[in-house]
Structure 1
Amino acid sequence: MFPLLASAHVKLQTADIITFAVYMIAISLIGWWFGRRETNVAETSSDYFLAGRTLPWYVVGSSYIAANISTEHFIGMIGAAMIYGICVATPEWSCIIAFTFLIWIFIPFLLSAKVFTAPEFLEKRFNPGMRNFFATVTVIANVIAFLAPVIYGGGLALNSLLGWNLTFCIALIGITSGVWAIWGGLKSVAWMDLLTIIIMVGGGLAVTYLGLQSLGQGEGLVAGFQEMVTRNQAQTGVWKEALDRLTPTIVPGHETYNRLSVIQPLEHETTPWPHWVMSFFYIGLWYLAINQFMVQRILAAKNMYHARMGIVFAGYLKLLLPFIVVVPGLIYFAMHPEILLAGSTLAEVRPEADKTYTNLIRDYVPVGIKGILMAALFGAIQSTVSAVLASTSTVITFDFYRRHLRPNATDRATIRFGRITTSVLLVLSIALGVWISGLKSSLFVYIQQLFMFFAPPFSAVFLLGILWRRINGTAALATVWLGFAFGIAVKFWVNTGEAPAWLAPYSNQGLVNWAICMVLCIVVSLVTAPPRPEQVTDELTLNWRKMNIGGDLGDRWYNSVTLWWGLSVVIMIGFIFLFGVVL
């Protein structure tokens, strides 16, 4: 997952180390301060696990995105953009579509349910089996597919940059990333994320700026951008040679490939065109609306206005993100297309392409700014680790401890258990990070693809469950089990080489799985008993007449949710037009 870092060498000067140290001190002070503010008051469970439901919109949005960004963005996406081009930005820009559903439908719904965790909602709507299954999957996935790889990647980065022992680096990254999640709960984590986002955006844009300046050869940013576009069109020279060699692998059955288009053929390896609209339904709904470490920020907002405006703000960060984690890949392709000629297959090319970020830092970033970029990389790791630790601890505490072990536990006992759980999870994740350092990187890719197995079934069940009151727990549980099995079966079928070419992209596999799960859930519900009345109340299913969709949208034009959401949609359409029609 992070092969580049083992061989990348970035020399840090005193100014870089001082810059990084200042960031570490600042982020620690923020975590300590908000943890202290929590500790000096008689804390409730809501205070520790949901920040007392007091987060303002700018913290909600910052923390929402910071939890989402990690080393796979700064490392993996830039390397992928080096190979595939601008289409790597599709998952980021298409989030505006997903956020539209979140702002107008799911936020009013989630806040009205008044729950601590997503599994808690699934029990109320369906049955205890759904809660147990989803909570178990959440905990296992968070530790194996989020925490351990991210901590390992951060440790490997520190090892490469400073030359320290790898095991020590993994432990150091884990401890420094998780300590404030243990100390102050979600409030510490969320406010730390605000500084982290500022550093990540500033540092990331600095790399893009310096790269374009270099391409422009003293003629400015516009000249650099024009040169980047011309070379990525790959009409001549080594750029065309590199593209021609990889086109049959990227888009099987096609003779040409447009690196500057976000609208790609159905056979595209990573981002076929259905992803733009349908990705929300087969993975975005799970990731954005019922994935605990994302939705926890929404549940912690002051009120519905701050939750909605927070997601609007997150949308603008998503629109900006490709200029930080995608455009540098285009810049480096323009500079060094010969890297893609290093092998005849993508498997041979990826290790070199994945060095893009650190190569840009090494070759084009001056002293002092390297320390900021190191802080940005650490911030990406820290924010994800803290977010996943806090959310996983919340799930274990409320879906297992308070539910099965001590239903009448006091708030103090609940918070103590939450802190102990977070500590245990951190130690376990560090141990797994050390263990997986000796495994092949392909395993990490496989683990990440596991999400495509269970996200579509859960997305289908959640969507149908809130839209249609006839959906019952029997159908929901059958759907998630059979959908998971079907996803694995399709993966094996594709690996045999006998499946149609359009089914090879894992996103298309997820879409097919989701569609089948939708049908399965409906059919099983219709042939089994309907749910009980208390399982289909207005708090657990959408009632369009009673939902407060038009409320809490801002009292002035300049703080209007509708205005700023609408503008983000226009910008997204503009990007699609530019990188789908014009170029």
Structure 2
Amino acid sequence: MSTIDWLIVLAYLLATLGIGVYLARRASSSMEEFFVSGRSLPWWLAGTSMAATTFSIDTPLYIAGVVGNRGIAGNWEWWAFAMSHVVLIYVFARLWRRSEIVTDAELIELRYGGRPAAVLRAAKAFLFAVPINCIGIGYIMLAAVKVIGVLGIWEGLGFGPDEQILGTDPKLLTVLGVAVLVLLYAGFSGLWGVVTTDFFQFFLALFGAVAVAFYALRSPRVGGLHGLVEKVQATTDFDVLAFIPFTLGQEGNWFGVGWSAFAGISASTFLAYVLLQWWTFRRSDGGGEFIQRLAASKTEAEAEKAAWFFNLMHYVVRTWPWVLVALAALVLYPDLEDRELGYPRLMLDFLPSGMLGLVVASLVAAFMSTVSTQINWGASYLTHDLYRRFMRPQATQRELVRAGRVASVLVTALGAAAAFFAQDVAAVFRLVIAIGTGPGVVLILRWFWWRINAWAELAAMVAGFFTGLFTTVVPVLRIDDFGMRLAVITGITTLIWVAVMYLTPPERPETLVAFYRRVRPGGPGWAAQRAATGLPPAQSLARDLRRVLAALLLLFGLMFGIGGGLLLRWDVAVAMTAVALAGGLWLYRIRGEERDA
């Protein structure tokens, strides 16, 4: 990196810290200002922040590894979550905003009552704030260490590749230094600082991804989009360009549809992604960081718009720059052992001076946006759901803000400790999915069926965590096929929580009535509470589910239509554009029905 590159990165870091200091006074007024921005976020800021927190420095490395090892179809590992994210738009966004909570753990004592609810709230707050959250911070830091290693920053200062400072890898020390800067602005300004910096960080990170794709495709060894499509398949022994790993017209298969012999992922894994993972994962009804943004939105309508904007940015806009870079890396570095390093290698080899500084700043931005969210989100559990709820119920607002800042330091320190043990970004990503699989169906049903109780949710959360952990890291119990692993986790967890639910009493009628009165969910599962209160549901569940189906056609149609055009698969581009148009027209028609009603 040249001097101008370093100046660009330094200017970005100072600007980010300045924003945090500027917003510190506003965040200090109350706990709601610190953790949910006074419930005054506009949709575009909340939605951009949701998109920014899912784009960290690990993401392009993860995509490069997935495409390099499993092909484009391997991205269904995260594309499958689009289904739960579209459900979030039309089913859960308004429910979360209507509940007026600070954290999703707080909902537990609205939905359930008594000691079981208190135990569940404390357990969930600790589990999400410490092990799950800190594992996430750790593997983000691992990705940052990999990028610094490829850029050769410390080698340029005269250090050997294995030389240490204070017994520690200097690359990790660099990452920890940036994390301390993140802690400063996140601790000063709370969610206000996080979402405001997220807005600038997201578009800078997006620009960086597009820039790397542009310069990589310009290489004569790639030859633009035409050359990429022609050359990339020759570098692998599987169908790297397939969006969906099926083949058509095969004799002997049902309706001529069969599994591709050259697919980069197994049939069981693909089916687990699209049929199982998205509704069994712990984020099936939103996910903690997203819920924080939805709860902070101005109104229910703004929350719904924020969720839509996130989906468009995350799946339609960002997917293809990452995929193109990953494919280019296959062509340019066919013998690269660690495919995750393809992204930073392309940066270093093809970006001119100045542009390299901007793209490095974009990766730093991606790192900071996600880590700042993780810090603030984890601190909200420790402060609101543990400290305020169980230790200091009478705490003043100023004391709670101070506790939030102390909790931010603790979460950062624990996340940094996790970074010392992480080894592989994709492997840790799969561990996070595994330990979070199982409780998703309970999280959905608790909104729409009165019989779900606190013991059932606690059993699902604990069973899913330990089953996922054991089947991933314990050699004797490890299940290598990822799809089979998710199926086993889901099956065991379901047996446990269903048994626990029927062996324990239901929630008290007054608790159920109070929850329905506040949230007013749709569907047939609250008929008795609806009759007791005389209040109609605030949403039509049947209409919302039709909107979900239409929106899925629109979202995936746009995503694959754009991808088909970029990869010169014009049949796919035309067909998926037609699907997107059909979904859009269906949504418009449903909206007209809603207005007429």
TM range (shorter): 0.7 to 0.9
Give the alignment partner of residue 315 of structure 1, picking from 307, 311, 316.
311
Alignment deviations for residues 529-566 of structure 1 (CA, whole Å, 9 cap, x no partner): 2221244331467334512469xx9xxxxxx9999987
Query: 1:441, 1:332 → 2: CA distance?
Result: 21
5 Å matches for 1:48-197?
A: 48-126=34-112, 127-154=117-144, 157-158=147-148, 160-163=151-154, 165-166=170-171, 168-197=173-202
- Contact 2:38/2:296 (8 A) holds in 1: yes
Query: 1:562, 1:194 → 2: CA distance?
Result: 29
Matching residue of 2:481: 505
Give the alignment partner of residue 509 of structure 2, picking from 516, 530, 533.
533
1:408 deviation in Å? Answer: 1.3
Structure 2 residues without counterparts, runs of 5 or longer: 158-169, 246-258, 524-535, 574-597
1:205 deviation in Å? Answer: 0.2
Query: 1:563, 1:287 → 2: CA distance?
Result: 22
Alignment deviations for residues 288-324 of structure 1 (CA, whole Å, 9 cap, x no partner): 6453233211111111222111121111112222223
- Contact 2:83/2:552 (8 A) holds in 1: no
- Contact 2:186/2:376 (8 A) holds in 1: yes
Matching residue of 1:282: 280
- From the superposition, tell whether residues 88 and 177 of structure 1 become closer, same or farther in structure 2 (CA, over 3 Å): farther
Query: 1:194, 1:230 → 2: CA distance?
Result: 37
5 Å matches for 1:540-559?
A: 542-544=521-523, 545-548=536-539
Q: Does 1:461 align with 2:466?
A: no
1:446 deviation in Å? Answer: 5.7
- Contact 2:105/2:125 (8 A) holds in 1: yes
Partner letter of residue 330 of structure 1? L
Query: 2:449, 2:410 → 1: CA distance?
Result: 40
- From the superposition, tell whether residues 155 and 93 of structure 1 become closer, same or farther in structure 2 (CA, over 3 Å): closer
Query: 1:491, 1:174 → 2: CA distance?
Result: 28
- Contact 1:457/1:517 (8 A) holds in 2: yes
- From the superposition, tell whether residues 37 and 139 of structure 1 become closer, same or farther in structure 2 (CA, over 3 Å): closer
1:110 deviation in Å? Answer: 1.1
Query: 1:157, 1:358 → 2: CA distance?
Result: 6
Q: Does 1:475 align with 2:464?
A: no
- Contact 1:155/1:166 (8 A) holds in 2: yes
- From the superposition, tell whether residues 36 and 566 of structure 1 become closer, same or farther in structure 2 (CA, over 3 Å): farther
Q: Does 1:303 align with 2:279?
A: no
- Contact 1:96/1:572 (8 A) holds in 2: no
Alignment deviations for residues 222-256 of structure 1 (CA, whole Å, 9 cap, x no partner): x611221222333xxxx2xxx33xxxxxxxxxxxx
Query: 2:84, 2:239 → 1: CA distance?
Result: 26
Query: 2:135, 2:14 → 1: CA distance?
Result: 29
Q: Once the two structures are aligned, what percentage of the paired residues are identical?
A: 22
Q: Does 1:13 align with 2:8?
A: no
Matching residue of 1:23: 12
Higher mean alpha-carbon deviation, 260-269 vs 302-311, is at 260-269
Query: 1:566, 1:582 → 2: CA distance?
Result: 14
Give the alignment partner of residue 261 of structure 1, picking from 203, 218, 242.
242
Query: 1:215, 1:188 → 2: CA distance?
Result: 43
- From the superposition, tell whether residues 38 and 117 of structure 1 become closer, same or farther in structure 2 (CA, over 3 Å): closer
Q: Does 1:522 align with 2:495?
A: no
Higher mean alpha-carbon deviation, 394-403 vs 563-572, is at 563-572
Q: Does 1:330 align with 2:363?
A: no
Q: Equivalent residue of 2:302, what SS?
A: helix
Q: Equivalent residue of 1:355, what SS?
A: helix
Aligned length: 514
Structure 1 residues without counterparts, runs of 5 or longer: 1-11, 218-222, 245-256, 340-348, 554-559
1:404 deviation in Å? Answer: 1.1
Q: Equivalent residue of 2:239, what SS?
A: coil
Alignment deviations for residues 399-450 of structure 1 (CA, whole Å, 9 cap, x no partner): 11111111111111111111122123324434554xx1xx5725x7665444
Alignment deviations for residues 239-297 of structure 1 (CA, whole Å, 9 cap, x no partner): 2xxx33xxxxxxxxxxxx311113235992695144134332122xx236453233211
Alignment deviations for residues 76-119 of structure 1 (CA, whole Å, 9 cap, x no partner): 22133222221243345444322220011111111122211111
Query: 1:267, 1:214 → 2: CA distance?
Result: 26
Q: TM-score, normalized by length of structure 2?
A: 0.78
1:464 deviation in Å? Answer: 2.2
Partner letter of residue 480 of structure 1? M
1:73 deviation in Å? Answer: 0.9
- From the superposition, tell whether residues 72 and 24 of structure 1 become closer, same or farther in structure 2 (CA, over 3 Å): same
Partner letter of residue 205 of structure 1? V
Partner letter of residue 445 of structure 2? L
Alignment deviations for residues 35-83 of structure 1 (CA, whole Å, 9 cap, x no partner): 24445xxx12211110111111121111112112222212222133222
1:386 deviation in Å? Answer: 0.5
Give the alignment partner of residue 213 of structure 1, picking from 193, 209, 218.
218
RMSD: 3.3
Query: 2:185, 2:405 → 1: CA distance?
Result: 10
Partner letter of residue 140 of structure 2? V
1:153 deviation in Å? Answer: 4.0
- From the superposition, tell whether residues 229 and 166 of structure 1 become closer, same or farther in structure 2 (CA, over 3 Å): closer
Matching residue of 1:343: none
1:167 deviation in Å? Answer: 5.3
1:389 deviation in Å? Answer: 0.6
- From the superposition, tell whether residues 275 and 576 of structure 1 become closer, same or farther in structure 2 (CA, over 3 Å): farther
Partner letter of residue 506 of structure 2? P
- From the superposition, tell whether residues 267 and 125 of structure 1 become closer, same or farther in structure 2 (CA, over 3 Å): farther
Matching residue of 1:203: 208
- Contact 2:212/2:325 (8 A) holds in 1: yes
1:452 deviation in Å? Answer: 3.5
Query: 2:473, 2:396 → 1: CA distance?
Result: 48
Query: 2:216, 2:264 → 1: CA distance?
Result: 32
Q: TM-score, normalized by length of structure 1?
A: 0.79
